[in-house]
Amino acid sequence: MRPLALPTFFLLLMSISGSSPAASVESSSWGKTAAGEEVKLFTLRNAGGMEAKITNWGGYIVALKVADKKGQFADVTLGFDKLDGYLGKNPFFGCIAGRYANRIGGAKFTLDGVEHKVTANSGKHQLHGGKEGFDKKLWAAKEVPNGVALTYTSADGEEGYPGTLKCTVTYTLTEDNALKIDYQATTDKPTVLNLTNHAYFNLAGEGSGDILGHHLTIPTEQITATDDDLIPTGEIASIKGTPLDFTAPHAIGERIGADFKPLIQGIGYDHNYVLPGTGREMKLAAVVKEPTSGRVMTVRTTEPGVQLYTGNHLNGVPGKAGHIYAKRHGFCLETQHYPDSPNHPNFPSVTLRPGETFESTTIYQFSISE
């Protein structure tokens, strides 16, 4: 595959200046919350024409415009045209999920011998931080070089979590057509933390139908096994040779309907893949190719896992430009620590203590398939 082409003018400019052009950043008012707080929309553009729109309400990726093999741009993320769609109940279209992304079984965990009960919002469990998670908060925003930094302070006890957590999420658009997301957080009491972005992608363009023809590669043969509620059992299970094995490229729709228990449990793909490697080194999480447009998305992360979700519960959501998002019209690749980690000592730790700084980076890079 080859990177998206830069216009000749900018290539000439780069050769003269000896440096890469910076992305431009523009902000505008985008409406108000029910409490009357002003919400802003930030538009990031690089020299090649790629564009990202980010709002400080919930940290949503509102749009991500990327060129195809013919040089035509399309928005490859599902979402809404107006703020109202994000203020109401929605399928987490591109938000920052936290304080704990994904699931906490039984909506409780024990930390340093003390049991903490968090808000249950998915049956008896918690999903993506509770009823008023980070997706439903107004973040302070500041323009930074090539991007925007969003900051939110989560109060001690919010949704049941201990500790006052100060969190910054920075979105940066690079000259090599990548959206880079950096997460950083500190706390004044021991707490647990798992942050991700919940973007739904369709590399053919949002509103273009299902994503079953996208070709996916995930470089691991392991997942965290779950029960019927998709809560991890604690087992790191082999998926080698099964319909969940994407170590070789497969179309997402090729085996999604297979008579295979994990697929039945998830009503499709809704699984945490255990990425190879240890520590915080940047690692490959996934590669997705869309044959018709030629768009390729490569995901790299410092996180130990990535959740593949194939929009199994989209049920006719009115989206952008009058499009209706139905089942499997988008897919998510949520880089993360494992679901329910606070309840499984064998999983990588998600405990954050005073004096420590949580840091994480994920990069969604776009290119064109040969």
Q: Give the residue numbers annotated as catalytic, written as ranges.
A: 198, 334
Measured CA to CA in angstroms, residue 96 lies from 114, 207, 319, 356 at distances of 27, 22, 19, 21
For tokens 């679901």, the residue is 339
275: Cβ–Cβ under 8 A, 6 or more apart, which residues? 219, 220, 283, 284, 285, 301, 303, 304, 305, 306
Q: How far apart are CA 349 and CA 328, in angstroms?
A: 32
Beta bridge partners of 229: none
Please identify which residue in the block is written with the tokens 């255990």.
Answer: 274
Both tokens of residue 156? 């001690």
DSSP annotation string for 153-192: EEPTTGGG--S-EEEEEEEEE-TTSEEEEEEEEEESS-EE
Residue 167: partners with Cβ closer than 8 Å, 6 or more residues away:
98, 134, 151, 152, 153, 154, 183, 184, 185, 195
With residues binned 3-state (H G I as helix, E B as strand, rest as coil), the percentages for the chain, rounded to 5, are 10, 40, 50
Distance CA 305, CA 259 (A): 25
Contact at 8 Å (CB) between 102 and 90?
no
Whole-number Å distance between alpha carbons of 292 and 296 = 11
What is the spatial distance between Cα 147 and Cα 356, in angstroms, rounded to a whole number? Answer: 25
For residue 285 the two structure tokens come to 């999480």
SS3 of residue 261 by DSSP: helix
Q: Are strands 324-325 and 317-318 parallel, antiparallel or unpaired?
A: antiparallel
